[in-house]
Structure 1
Amino acid sequence: MPVSGSALSVSRLVALLKEVVEENFVQVLVEGEISNFATPASGHHYFTLKDQGAQLRAVMFRTQNRLLPYRPENGMQVVCSGRVSVYSQRGEIQLVVETMEPLGAGSLQVAFEQLKARLSAEGLFAAERKRPLPAFPRTIGVVTSATGAAIHDILNVLKRRAAGVRVLLFPVRVQGEGAAAEIAGAIAALNRQGQADVLIVGRGGGSLEDLWAFNEEPVARAIHASRIPVISAVGHEVDFTIADFVADLRAPTPSAAAELVVKSRLELEGHLDHLVMRLAGQMQGRLGLLRERVDGLARRLRSPRQELARMDQRWLELERRLRQAMAGGLRERGLRLGAAAARLDALSPLRTLNRGYAIVFDEKTGAAVRDSASLVPGGRLRIRLARGQLRARVEEIEP
């Protein structure tokens, strides 16, 4: 059926659709599952949002996605905020995403789990790389806020338990933008100075957002690269950060970190007494075990003369069994040989000759004569009897 009126160009139709869509869907919230996720060299995120009934192409430009604390992945359930647009070159509807939040866990928690998994795969959390703390540190480096409660708690514990220990404070911001870079720089600087025997890196408690600087990759890399053993003391006992997993030792609080890094004389004496008692007990147990093993070996030890007598008896028994086996084998083979000889004798041509028969050979060919037609008059024959043989000449041939 012909269409009345003038026809629209493809570009005009797509432009009209673009105008309708973009004017009516300026801000939307869309929930779905990420698939076909890709980030080309441009830095933009391209992916598809889908559910059980439909799917929608989506893009998150670099200016927005660089603010994400985590990396989107295929299969992740998310809620995206943005506007709906029409991509003219392909005539496709797409969602231009401005913000993205994972369903369930928050974006910071997702970023925490992603970084934790990646650094763990690289071996930054490996137990074999963690170093013991020095037994008697003389200088303790502390990376924390100069005005926070953490430094006061650390100094109070050190004053009470280890007077005379030198504290080298490197003040940093412990939250907010740029805090992670300051903390990482302080750890590197203390390593370059080389004066501290051990480092305490931490702060007091707070929310996940407050502690986030200790969950950032630069801090984890700086702790991993430190030549000086590091104690992580971030937050309260229930708080865990990436720094805790990378550090050589985690302390539940800054005060606990100070208690771990130094030990009072009474504690050391008590520890030594305990070690002496453990050593004595282990030595007694070891000696008792060795004594039991010696007694057992003595009970199993045999005289060489008894062993030789046993071996001689064994040799006589083996010789007797060998002789019996050989005698039995000879008897069996003798019976088998006699039976075979009897069968051979029954089949022997000599037995037939003894009954009066003879074997005739053509003396020229040496073959046995079976047919008179193979002979000629005057031919020479050799005749084998049961006893002896004779020679003859053919006089006449009868068929």
Structure 2
Amino acid sequence: LEKVDPYRAKIMPVYTVSQVTRYIKESLERDALLADLWVSGEASNVARSAAGHTYFSLKEENTLMRCVMFKGGSGGEHILDGSAVSLHGRMSVYEVRGDLQCIADIVRPEGMGERSLELERLKVQLEAEGLFEPSRKRSIPSFPRRVGVITSPTGAVWHDIQNVTGRRYPLAELVLAPCQVQGDNAAPTIIEAFDAMNAEPDIDVVILARGGGSAEELWPFNEEAVARAIYASKPPIISAVGHETNTSIADMVADLRAPTPSAAAEMAVPDSRELNERIVFNA
């Protein structure tokens, strides 16, 4: 007997993306549990729009859920990065991107999340030990010959630092110690990079850099071991982690903080054009 292909025997309908997304959304909103529930977790990636809406994530260890509280919701002032909250809302799908999200209408504070509490504890400890002390911070050499860079070798950050340094002060040699800049294995590789820099001869200054990212992605730069590696560095350190609004423990321990990796390169080397103009002016 000839086998019958079930897909040929019964022609299956083909749905559009919007049809499938809308079906998932309607299914979620019909579910009695998901349409009226309380959820607890730690708020992160908080962003407030000009229209008064609050977008954030609720996380628990390795699980993350996108959330939104529209203008007029109750308790939006409690949604802060690192705060542990309980929210009431309903699960839905944002059809434009197909994102699962919780639409919150009430938020109550539960105190600080465990990770943020640990961060505050570590800040107090390191400050008491003198790692943040301004008087111990070293000056950056005016005319460095060898500039160390600790960052990912594949990201835009390394490319930007090369461009800025080459344009401003091509006499400086860049020495890269590659590392991971996010994830569970990032902190050990950053520490290994500092060990490599300390073993490298004649490094005048080191740039520790990473581009912008979420609180979770920037977390390796809040690790105690990374802070102590910065403190123990032989050359002075310029830290450029994330954007100007991000402040990590690495920034607080470093000898100098830059708002961006490109700005760190500008701080590390002089501008040769300005130097030439001074020479001509004083001649």
TM range (shorter): 0.5 to 0.7
Corresponding residue for residue 209 of structure 1? 216
TM-score, normalised via structure 1 length: 0.42
Aligned to 1:131: 138
SS in 2 for 1:210: helix
Give the whole-Å Cα distance in 1 for the aligned partners of 2:208 and 2:84.
Answer: 35
Do the aligned partners of 2:187 and 2:221 also contact (CA within 8 Å) in 1? yes
Call closer, same or farther: CA 1:30–1:269 in 2, change over 3 Å.
closer
Shift of 1:109: 2.5
1:141 equivalent in alignment to 2:162: no
Q: 2:245 aligns with which of 238, 249, 252?
A: 238
Using the TM superposition, give the Cα deviation of residue 148 of structure 1 relative to its aligned residue in structure 2, in angstroms: 1.0
Query: SS of 2:167's equivalent?
Result: helix
Is 1:255 paired with 2:268? no
What is the distance in 1 between the residues matched to 2:84 and 2:168?
A: 51
How many residue pairs get matched?
A: 184
The one of the two structures with greater contact order (alpha-carbon pairs below 8 A, sep at least 6) is 2
Distance of 1:175 and 1:78 partners within structure 2? 23
Q: Secondary structure at the residue paired with 2:217?
A: coil
Identity of aligned residues (%): 52
Deviates more, 1:182-191 or 1:265-274: 265-274
Tell me the distance in 2 between the aligned counterparts of 1:271 and 1:246.
34
| Residue identity opposite 1:178 in structure 2 | N
Question: Which of the pair has more CA radius of gyration?
Answer: 1
Alpha-carbon offset, residue 103 of structure 1: 2.4
Gapped runs of 5+ residues in structure 1?
1-28, 32-66, 68-76, 81-101, 277-399
Distance between the aligned counterparts of 1:184 and 1:116, measured in 2? 19
What runs of 5+ residues in structure 2 fail to find an aligned partner? 1-38, 42-61, 63-82, 87-108
Supply the RMSD in Å over aligned alpha carbons.
Answer: 3.1
The structure in which a higher percent of residues are strand is 2
Per-residue deviation at 1:270? 7.0
- Structure with the larger helix share: 1
1:314-342 CA deviation, whole Å, 9 max, x = no partner? xxxxxxxxxxxxxxxxxxxxxxxxxxxxx
Q: 2:110 — aligned with what?
A: 103
Q: List per-residue Cα deviations over 1:345-383 (Å, max 9, x = no partner).
A: xxxxxxxxxxxxxxxxxxxxxxxxxxxxxxxxxxxxxxx
**What is the DSSP-based 3-state SS (H/G/I as helix, E as strand, rest coil) of the residue aligned with 2:165?**
helix
Partner of 1:114: 121
* Distance of aligned partners of 1:212 and 1:78 in 2 relative to their CA distance in 1, 3 Å threshold: closer
2:168 corresponds to which of 161, 164, 173: 161
